[in-house]
Amino acid sequence: MPLLSVLVLTLALGAPLILASMGGYTSERSGVINIGLEGMMMIAACMTAVVGIPLGPVAGLAAALVSATLLSSLHWLVTQKYSVDHVISGMGINAVAAGAASFVFGKFADPKHEGGVPHLSVWIYYVLAIVAPLALWLYTQRARGGLRMVAVGADPEKSRLMGLSPGRIRFVALFATGLFTGLAGALLVSDAAIYTNNITAGRGYIALAALVVGGWRPLPTLMVCLGLGFLGSLQLRFQGTDVLAVIPSQAWASLPYLVTIIALAGFLGKNRTPAGLGKP
């Protein structure tokens, strides 16, 4: 059943991207530029393994959520309270996360440990990944919090005049970012059943790319992530066969990045960047 296996593979490759890009969605929709998705995923993946191996899968997932949320809160603190440029803060977050992950894993991972990382069923994550964009879309359309989040991301100054507090709204948004990236990181480890250095391999940036191509809207972003998953699954499926021999694997891998660049150049419809992105 090659069709079914391609579909499952699409979901497996797409789900971490979806979860991470939804983390990017809540952050950037509230006006906080977030290039730290990669770092948050990485620390979450690391903690899933480091805590999960001695204490079990639930503790591993909890550690992932807590660590990613802490890092996300640090991003909130630095950008909103210290008024640091969002891009610089994101770079700092990524460095702290990469360093901390390599440090913690180097220090606590038991080199003699046999078998994989204990984990919950990946289907839990897959279902969450499909439901999350729908839920977020409904949230912005039908819930007070969602409306306020979009308003603050569109124009923080005017929102303040309407009695909203952008700082608090962005805290909630970044808290959600922490949870989503935490899930994404935990899923990576659960899927592979093993933690390796640099397990995220730039997926945080691809998630950001999907968000850009999806025009900062949850459902199109979901579609972009699934499309990327499908491309990846085709590549895996036909690896080593003649079908793909003409196109180098590196070209396949570059495709999402190239599409993002073209989207940012405005060749794929209008630029939908939230107007208040990066404003205090």
C-alpha atoms less than 13 angstroms from C-alpha of 118 in its C-beta half-sphere: 11
Closest approach, Cβ 211 to another protein, in A, equals 9
Please identify, among the stretches 11-19, 59-67, 96-104, 228-236, the one whose residues bind another protein according to the rule CB under 8 A: 96-104
Torsion (CA) 116, 117, 122, 124 in degrees, nearest 10: 150
Stretch that binds another protein, among 85-93, 116-124, 173-181, 183-191 (CB under 8 A): 85-93
Task: Show the tokens assigned to 206.
Answer: 């691809």
Cβ-proximal residues to 124 (8 Å cutoff; 6+ apart), any chain: none
| Closer residue to another protein, CB minimum distance, 58 or 145 | 145
Query: Does 233 interact with another protein (rule: CB under 8 A)?
Result: no
Q: Where do we find the tokens 């459902």?
A: 219
- Residue 240 interacting with another protein (CB under 8 A): no
Binding of another protein at residue 149 (CB under 8 A)? no
User: Is the Cβ of residue 33 or residue 129 nearer to another protein in the bound state?
Assistant: 33
Residue 109 sits in the site that holds another protein (CB under 8 A): no
Per-residue binding string, another protein, 22-41, x by CB under 8 A, is -----------x-x------
Q: What does each C-alpha distance from 55 to 103, 116, 131, 141 come to in angstroms? A: 20, 13, 29, 40
Using the contact rule CB under 8 A, the part of the chain among 61-69, 149-157, 169-177, 187-195 near another protein is 149-157
> Cα–Cα distance between 109 and 195 in angstroms, integer?
10
3-class DSSP state for residue 185?
Answer: helix
